[in-house]
Amino acid sequence: MSMRSAAVMAAFATLGLYAQEPAPPRTPQTFTAGTEYVEVPVVVQRSNKHVSGLNKGDFVLQQDGKDVSITNFEEIHTLSAAPARNGGSSFSNSFATQTPPQVVVLAIDTVNTPTLDQAYFQKELKQYLSELKPEDPPLGLVELTRSGMHVLHNFTRDRRSLLAAIDQLSKLPQKNDEQSQMLAELYNEVQQMQSTNAGAPGMAELEAATIQTDANEQQMTRFQDYTARIDSMYALQQIAQSLKGIPGRKTLLWAGDGFPFMTGSTTNGQGGRTFMPDHIGDTLDSHLYTWKLLNDANVAVYPIDLRRTSNPAFAVMDSSFKNSPTPTQKDQAWENDSQVTTTFQTLAAQTGGKPCIFRTDLHNCIREAADDNRDYYLLGFYVDKNNRIPGWHKIGVKLNQKANLRYREGFMIAPPKSDVMKSTDLQLALNSPFAYTSLPFSGKFVGSTPQGDKQNVNFALHIPPNAISVDDAKIDFDILAVVRAPGGKEAARISQHISQSLPPQGVATIQAQGINYTNKLSVPPGEYGVWFVLRDNPTGRTGSVTVPLKVQ
């Protein structure tokens, strides 16, 4: 994924999917470590309708097959309004609502999806929009491209503006780019020479060249598949980080032809999941961390397979090659198809969503996913202190009456690596089109003073109580402030790592009042965008916001 800014949004409007409206002060939220407290949204339906009026005693909640106490229980009826963030001279990444909103995000994957499948989905999406009802939730549209994530439209019910955004979708270049076409022509030429000059001098060298050509193309294809998979995982991480600070269950529709996300994953008889990636250790870390972020943010993924009724035998055919596919190529096509289908099924099962596979009525898939998030139950429990082994832990939910239950099947205990994951979080936050919300903070600019041909712009940040963890009377967090001019050129940067042991009085002050931070940015006169990013390192919670700045 490109690590540069996503085209630096025009006029430096605050990036994200959310409406910019003034918001009242929000009650400070108490945070606990992600491995200690787990929330489990449960969709309970009978004949595709919500079953209302259940109480805590009707449910049995399990971790790894053992009953656990339900410490929090709510029946949620979501608001259909989109969440709002602070605007004006002050800024914040916190949300005004305390009642869970109905959040539905549609992410269109143009990296792993051919143009024809994209066109079919656009037609289906337009049909869904033509049938919108007043009670339907606002829809946020984002797009995954080779240059990163792009916001197509903020949350809205405005049919016309959504239709206009759909028409702006990028087109994926043809799979046979110039290099692939050159390799195909060389392959055909060698094949023709082999058929007419078998045994002629020099054929051994040509055969060796053919083998090397095939190997090079396979290596290039593997590299492209690997980078596309990493791009997809980074996109999922960014969306999860953006939605984490919003209360309740969130719906993410992931529309595309898929990618082998969990290659080589296996499940044992006790529900434990083992990951065996086909690449180096950073892939394993990305897999684990992506699962953790999605689970912690209560994001239910609804994959929409744009291949519809896919045919691997047809997919392996390539008109640029003269000869028919080999048995090995056919087997590989079937394997790839199986991996994509398994990926979609796994994403849905492990996050509490529902896959849309082998269907042509994709507009109905969108509606079913949106309706799922209207009413549900939210169950919470504390993880057994004797069962906090890092890895995947199975969740089970039972009901004392007949109904269809949908919930995420597990949660991940995988503390982020302090160096690798911190670097990834900070870099992605600086280049994401979304504001990260799991670590709330607010701020404002408080005047400026001249210094030569520049201005020192003063700013103040406030981190509310309990947002920064205080473990063993110690705080450990990072603050980044990056100023970018139009076009993305960096004009100034502040990077500070704060790690400090505190006396008892200092701990009490932070827990009661939070943390106030002040600093200054030295920049020439002009118009800029300022990216603020904060990360609590013990928990991995990250917050970010982007605000415009005009320096006289």
Query: 427-448: per-residue pLDDT in tens?
Result: 999 988 889 999 999 999 998 9
Look at residue 466 and tell me whether its pLDDT is greater than 50: yes
In this prediction, residue 282 carries a pLDDT of 44
* Higher-pLDDT residue of 66, 325: 66
Task: With a cut of 90, say whether residue 175 has pLDDT above it.
Answer: no
CB of 190 closer than 8 Å to CB of 182 = no
Task: Please list, residue by residue across 129-162, b when 16 or more beta carbons sit within 10 angstroms of its beta carbon and e when fewer do.
Answer: beebeeebbbbbbbbbbeebbbbbbbbbbeeeeb
d(Cα 258, Cα 266) in Å, to the nearest integer?
A: 19
Determine contact, residues 384/63, Cβ cutoff 8 Å.
yes
What the chain holds in terms of domains, given with CATH numbers, is 10-15+416-551 (2.60.40.10), 43-169+244-313+346-413 (no CATH)
Residues 412-423 pLDDT 10s: 876 555 566 888
| The pair of three-digit structure tokens given for residue 521, joined into one six-digit string | 């940015």
Residue 341, phi then psi, degrees to nearest 5: -60, -45
101 band by pLDDT with thresholds 50, 70 and 90: confident
Tell me the pLDDT band of 308, cut-offs 50, 70 and 90: confident
How large is the average pLDDT for residues 367-392? 89
Angle at 110 between CA 106 and CA 113, to 5 degrees: 110
pLDDT value for 366? 95
Supply the pLDDT for residue 90.
85
pLDDT at 348 (0 to 100)? 92
CA distances from 44 to 55, 76, 172 (A): 12, 11, 39
Q: What is the mean pLDDT of residues 380-404?
A: 90
State what percent of residues in the chain have pLDDT above 70.
70
Kindly state the tokens that stand for 16: 């994200």
Confidence of residue 29 (pLDDT cuts 50, 70, 90): very low
Structure tokens at 92: 């914040």
pLDDT band at 338 (very low <50, low <70, confident <90, very high): confident
Q: Please, are residues 102 and 288 in contact by the beta-carbon 8 Å criterion?
A: no
